[in-house]
Structure 1
């Protein structure tokens, strides 16, 4: 339990530093974008290569991944039904809403949580791969279909994961692990240095975004935002906890991992997807869901860690 508390304390303090430097105007929105881009395109992929090259692969694809997938399936199905028959959303709005309820922030917040709270950053690798190899291509295919002037091509769908640097880094790390190959020292040492800056860079950027980001609730109806937030931060981890514990009977560490990872907030790249396909309600829903689930998810994760840790 003490390790969980120390892990969250470390994360929250670095996030607070990011918020402070934003408040003092040391870093503005442009600086936050630079930090995020460096983390996304350079540091995170390096971290995935370093971590997965040495990870116990059999540990990465155990029952906790099935529990996480079950949580995503339940929340996505629930929102899809509500969007179709209650909220009356079109296909674009429905797909974006589903992403808001099930697509977790596995990069900027998930990797630090896995490293400092769960004790193993490699625990996020299956989630990253699931999202980038399955959920995102499927969502883009549906959004392309909803757009009259866009039609999905097989090549575009197949290469979508390869356009994400984190996914590429994860695949490279897995390849090194499975083949037993080792990078030469001339590459391994600088790669390790870059990987070491991933977590602090992500957390600083996250803190800056919390301070400078827009207040939620100004573009989305309160009931819809409440539904999305509840599905993401309460229902998804609740289902994962139920499946991992009573249903599958997993070890306590796996139950904790499934619940905490499922409680992560909506990923920021859902907003990017929404902005690409829609400039109206779906865009506002994504923006507000990211802000609100971020605020709610932290106490939920702390509570789950205290209960299960």
Structure 2
């Protein structure tokens, strides 16, 4: 019990800043619509600054651990197959509905949740970098392709290919991914970076964690939680994201790939992060299960925060 309390204490700053956002929005001290400005500051500036400096200073050999990356990739692929089969055969949704549920069940909120949590718990977000690339370069590309194809069943292949390509290029050109490219490229090429510039990036990047968490709290405080009238597959999807998927990561990483120690903790915690915030953006853009997406993002964010101390203890 004392270990659980001590572990939960490490997450106290996360709960405090996140909770402050919720309270500020609920009491209308700061309007929930202001969360967009805080989010854009974190997404477009603070987090990229942190990533460039952090990745430039990282040990690439430790960062790109082939066994750890392979273990998470296998976990993600199995999760995609499981959610896709369940959504298609058991729920009977169309291709876009399947893609959205796969995104909700397998992808994680790296930008607004995982990065701040890792900064506060470990002082390092480098282990998240391979997962960011995996999500953007593989999982998100698959979701975009399915969404576009599902929305354009009646048009030619050529007209379908263009929006898919635009979506893929847009995903690869997001500020966080570009920051990862810059940091890793400068590190690999041993580009000399002056100390004052690294200190400047660190100073700006230190704002990323509290601002991102506060923005997420504002957003959830404004939208609220819908406990009644949930869609039939909503809680099954939430349970898979917060319980089954990190448990699958634990079993595959530990027993199949023999991963122990800090990397096991990193991978399981990453899998235990909530559904990505851009799930709601995709749902709106393609007019697919918008209410489901909003509810899953909100509820997995709160449930993940409560379960993180448990997953930390389990992976010790």
Aligned length: 306
Find the partner of 2:138 among 125, 134, 137. Answer: 134
Structure 2: distance between partners of 1:31 and 1:158: 29
Contact 1:17/1:207 (<8 A) preserved: yes
- 2:285 corresponds in structure 1 to 276
Give how far 1:54 is off.
0.5
Q: What's the counterpart of residue 15 of structure 1?
A: 18
Q: With structure 1 as the length reference, what TM-score do the two structures score? A: 0.91
Pairwise CA distance, 1:187: 3.9
> For the structure 1 residues 50 and 218, does the alpha-carbon distance in structure 2 shift closer, same or farther, using more than 3 Å as the test?
farther
Task: Report the Cα distance in structure 2 between the residues aligned to 1:16 and 1:157, rounded to whole angstroms.
Answer: 34
1:47 and 1:287, CA in 2 relative to 1: closer, same or farther beyond 3 A? Answer: same
Contact in 2 for aligned 1:18/1:207 (Cα 8 Å): yes
**Structure 2 contact 33–219 (Cα < 8 Å) conserved:** no
Contact 1:229/1:292, CA 8 A, preserved across alignment? yes
Pick closer, same or farther for the CA change 1:166–1:191 going to 2, 3 Å. Answer: same
- In structure 2, the residue matched to 1:293 is 300
Matched, 1:40 2:47: no
**Residue pairs, 1:1-309, within 5 angstroms:** 4-62=7-65, 63-148=67-152, 151-153=160-162, 155-156=165-166, 158-185=168-195, 187-217=197-227, 220-221=230-231, 223-278=232-287, 280=288, 282-309=289-316
Deviation string 1:34-60 (CA, Å, 9 cap, x unpaired) is: 001111111111111011011111112
Question: Would the aligned equivalents of 1:265 and 1:297 in 2 still touch at CA under 8 Å?
Answer: yes
User: How far 1:3 moved relative to its partner?
Assistant: 7.5
CA change 1:218–1:96 in 2 (3 A) is farther
Q: Is the 8 A contact 2:32 2:221 kept in 1?
A: no
In the TM superposition, residue 191 of structure 1 has moved relative to its aligned partner by: 2.4
CA contact (8 A) 1:244 1:254 kept: no
Q: Deviations over 1:91-127 (max 9, x none)?
A: 1111111101011001111002222224421111111
Superposed CA offset, 1:161-192 (max 9, x none): 33311111111111111111133456434322
**Distance (whole Å) between structure 2 residues aligned to residue 40 and residue 51 of structure 1:** 16
- 160-169 or 261-270, larger mean C-alpha shift: 160-169
* Contact in 1 for aligned 2:112/2:213 (Cα 8 Å): yes
Deviation by residue 1:180-226 (Cα, 9 ceiling, x = unmatched): 113345643432221111111111112212321232356642x3012
Change (3 A) 1:16 1:158: closer
What are the ranges of 5 or more consecutive residues in structure 2 without an aligned counterpart? none
- Asked whether the equivalents of residues 15 and 204 of structure 1 are also in contact (C-alpha less than 8 Å), the reply is yes
TM-score (norm 2): 0.90
In structure 1, runs of 5+ residues without a counterpart are none
Query: Which sits farther off after the overlay, 11-20 or 165-174?
Result: 11-20
Decide which moves more: 169-178 or 7-16.
7-16
RMSD (Å) for aligned C-alpha atoms: 2.1
Shift of 1:289: 1.2
Greater CA drift, 143-152 or 78-87: 143-152
- Give the Cα–Cα distance (whole angstroms) in 2 for the partners of residues 157 and 31 of structure 1: 27
| In structure 1, C-alpha distance between the alignment counterparts of 2:229 and 2:29, rounded to whole Å | 29
Moved more, 128-137 or 110-119: 110-119
